[in-house]
Structure 1
Amino acid sequence: MHYRTLGNTGEKVSAIGLGCMGMAFAYGQRDDAESRATLELALDLGVNFWDTADMYGQGLNEKQLSEVLATRRKDVFLATKFGFRYREDNSTYFDGSPAYLKQACEASLKRLGVDVIDLYYAHRVDDQVPIEETVGAMAELVKEGKVRYLGLSEASAHSIRKAAAVHPIAALQSEYSLFVRDIESDIIPTCRELGIGIVPYSPLGRGALTSDLRDVKDLDPTDFRRNLPRFQQEAFDKNLRIVSALEDIAAERHITLPQLALAWLLAKGDNITPIPGTKRRKYLQENAAAADIALTADDVARIEATLSGYQIEGERYSEGAMKLVNR
């Protein structure tokens, strides 16, 4: 495994991290035994940058990680997030208040079975709470030794600047892939200026940038992608044309499409560390191998020229969820 320095922290994290959400919910049925084996194999492969959140399975994912952390804590650079809360009807809302985030941190520490969280993200920006107040309270957690570094997720360049003026921000986690590139215009330049690492989530387009998914009808009935605009059959079918064109490029390089998508992100800058999610060992191994693939400037140019010939169909979230991103 190759390693990259995370933002301004000096910490070395695996160039390909591991998103753990799908082990607990969202992507069909759980497989706890396979998830545990995937976590253990990740460490054997040198994949030490693990990402979770308190909302993933309403705390379940953090508990899943705790089983491995109990004996391998020193081998993991551990990131989790706070802010989404559940109502009685199981709908969610975002709470970035100082009082709640301190409560959430204590709960995450307990579920994870750790004394300190390496990287603590605000899962979104709360439009009812000034970002300075949220980050100020997060900074108190650093002073108390409960958190080492602070991060933001889906924050605008304006919010990032205001947050960084209160306390150093180590990383920004946002959706970024061959399908989602809106952060390239001003958010990535802002992060580079401020020494903030970029952590792309869903770097494989929630599975669309693979060769495994060809029909949304194949998704498990409980899979949350069934409700996403981009995974409605008409939009998905149109996007398959893009997938097919990218597969041709990957085949010429003798790599898989997911490896091409991850290598493209790695080639976009040394401060970029994608965290493809998986709960299966075979996909983990495929993803981790992308760290060894170095695309040339010509490769990147060809990929982007190919993309320019298509229009990505469908939003990445529902209308309500889209209001929470990049704000």
Structure 2
Amino acid sequence: MATRKLGELTIGAQGLGCMGMSSAYGVRDNDAESIATIHRALDLGVTLLDTADIYGPETNERLVGRAIADRRDRVVLATKFGIVWGEKGAMGARGDAAYVKQSCDESLSRLGVDHIDLYYQHRVDPDVPVEETWGALSELVQAGKVRYLGISEASAATIRRAHAVHPVTALQSEWSLWTRDIEAEVLPTCRELGIGIVPFSPLGRGFLTGAITSTADLPVGDMRRRLPRFTDGNLDANLAIVEALRALADEKGVTPGQLALAWVQSRGDDVVPIPGTKRRAYLEQNVAATDITLTTDDLARIEAAAPSDAIAGARYPEELARAAGR
């Protein structure tokens, strides 16, 4: 696999999101297959593995730690801190200095490693100045517990404030053909500052693969049942976009998901998407998308098939949306 750079960090052009192996998308059903998927990813040239303390919670870090125990030197290991859950499933954030340091030590223990390669502030705490959070993060770098720092789902103004304390290596935010919020302000800010982009959910939480045609396709307990874009009122409108992408994908001899991934990858050499999967077959499909070249005409037709203003429904319900974009 070709490599790309996030700031000073060189990694494979596509990473692997590990969240769904332990949480969010239904039952945690097969740790052995998840570990085999991680091993296969490394064999295919994927180097960036992405997890977080909140996934599971905590179980995903332990799973990733077991998977990489005998191959740590082949991995650029990313994890995150900062999300806390409130009443009725509301997403909150914590970023005080003591919590930052405690969270890092706990993640190191669960992962079974002596350092984290890329440590993200998962969400910004509205009650703690980002300078305090990043001062604590900088101390973790100085202590050798962390190599590089990132931030997730933050506003352009917050990214600038964090970067003034310690260089931000990567921004992780949702970016795909159906989520393009970062393009107006956040993306230009990152490029001005030399910050790499790590798009999560580059397949629209699986929707852009065409495999989801009804909420009945989603397991009980799957978080997507709560997301407005998957609800009956919006689903049909969004399916029409997927079908338009499928027609373009068929012409190129690829899947709709591969076309959607190739579009994200075409956004720049500073972009490293992290599609998530817990199955080797889907992983191999995703990795194959790194070999797809899109022409200027391809890109224009993709944009016409999936215009950013045509997506029906908000990204999140209100209880999850409040913690994003601070």
TM-score category (smaller protein): over 0.9
RMSD: 1.4
Deviation at 1:271, TM superposition (A): 0.6
Q: Match of 2:209?
A: 210
Q: Match of 1:233?
A: 232
* Aligned: 1:29 with 2:27: yes
Q: Distance in 2 between matches of 1:297 and 1:131?
A: 40
Q: Match of 2:4?
A: 4
Q: Distance in 2 between matches of 1:95 and 1:153?
A: 13
Q: 1:52 to 1:158 in 2, by over 3 A?
A: same
Q: Distance in 1 between matches of 2:129 and 2:88?
A: 28
Contact 1:229 1:316 in 2 (8 A): yes
Choose the corresponding residue for 2:14, options 13, 16, 22.
Answer: 16
Contact 2:79 2:118 in 1 (8 A): yes
Q: Distance in 2 between matches of 1:232 and 1:275?
A: 25
SS in 1 for 2:299: helix
Matched pairs, number: 325
Deviation at 1:146, TM superposition (A): 0.2
* Larger CA deviation: 206-215 vs 139-148: 206-215
SS in 2 for 1:200: strand
Q: Match of 1:100?
A: 99
Contact 1:69 1:113 in 2 (8 A): no
**Letter of the structure 2 residue corresponding to residue 119 of structure 1:** L
Q: Distance in 1 between matches of 2:26 and 2:174?
A: 21
Q: 1:308 to 1:98 in 2, by over 3 A?
A: same
Q: Any idea what the Cα deviations from partners look like across 1:42-63, whole Å, max 9, x if unmatched?
A: 1111111100000000110000
Contact 1:2 1:292 in 2 (8 A): no
* Aligned: 1:272 with 2:271: yes
Question: Which residues of 2 match residues 1-327 of structure 1 at below 5 A?
Answer: 1-6=1-6, 8-9=7-8, 11-30=9-28, 31-86=30-85, 92-308=91-307, 311-327=310-326
Q: Distance in 2 between matches of 1:53 and 1:203?
A: 18
Q: Distance in 1 between matches of 2:307 and 2:187?
A: 20
Q: Distance in 2 between matches of 1:106 and 1:85?
A: 17
Contact 2:180 2:308 in 1 (8 A): no
SS in 2 for 1:174: strand
Q: Distance in 2 between matches of 1:88 and 1:211?
A: 34
**Letter of the structure 2 residue corresponding to residue 3 of structure 1:** T
Contact 1:152 1:171 in 2 (8 A): yes
Q: 1:95 to 1:309 in 2, by over 3 A?
A: closer
Q: 1:302 to 1:44 in 2, by over 3 A?
A: same
Deviation at 1:308, TM superposition (A): 2.9
**Letter of the structure 1 residue corresponding to residue 283 of structure 2:** L
Contact 1:246 1:306 in 2 (8 A): yes
* Structure 2: gaps (5+ residues): none
Same amino acid, percent of matched pairs = 57
Contact 2:262 2:293 in 1 (8 A): yes
Give TM-score scaled by structure 1 length: 0.96
SS in 2 for 1:206: coil
Give TM-score scaled by structure 2 length: 0.97
Contact 2:78 2:116 in 1 (8 A): yes
SS in 2 for 1:161: helix
Q: Distance in 2 between matches of 1:305 and 1:211?
A: 18
Q: Distance in 2 between matches of 1:234 and 1:326?
A: 25
* Larger CA deviation: 226-235 vs 177-186: 226-235
Q: Any idea what the Cα deviations from partners look like across 1:34-88, whole Å, max 9, x if unmatched?
A: 1111111111111111000000001100000111221010000000000123469
Q: 1:139 to 1:288 in 2, by over 3 A?
A: same
Q: 1:126 to 1:254 in 2, by over 3 A?
A: same
Deviation at 1:93, TM superposition (A): 2.8
Contact 2:91 2:320 in 1 (8 A): no
SS in 2 for 1:165: helix
Q: Distance in 1 between matches of 2:94 and 2:171?
A: 18
Deviation at 1:234, TM superposition (A): 2.0
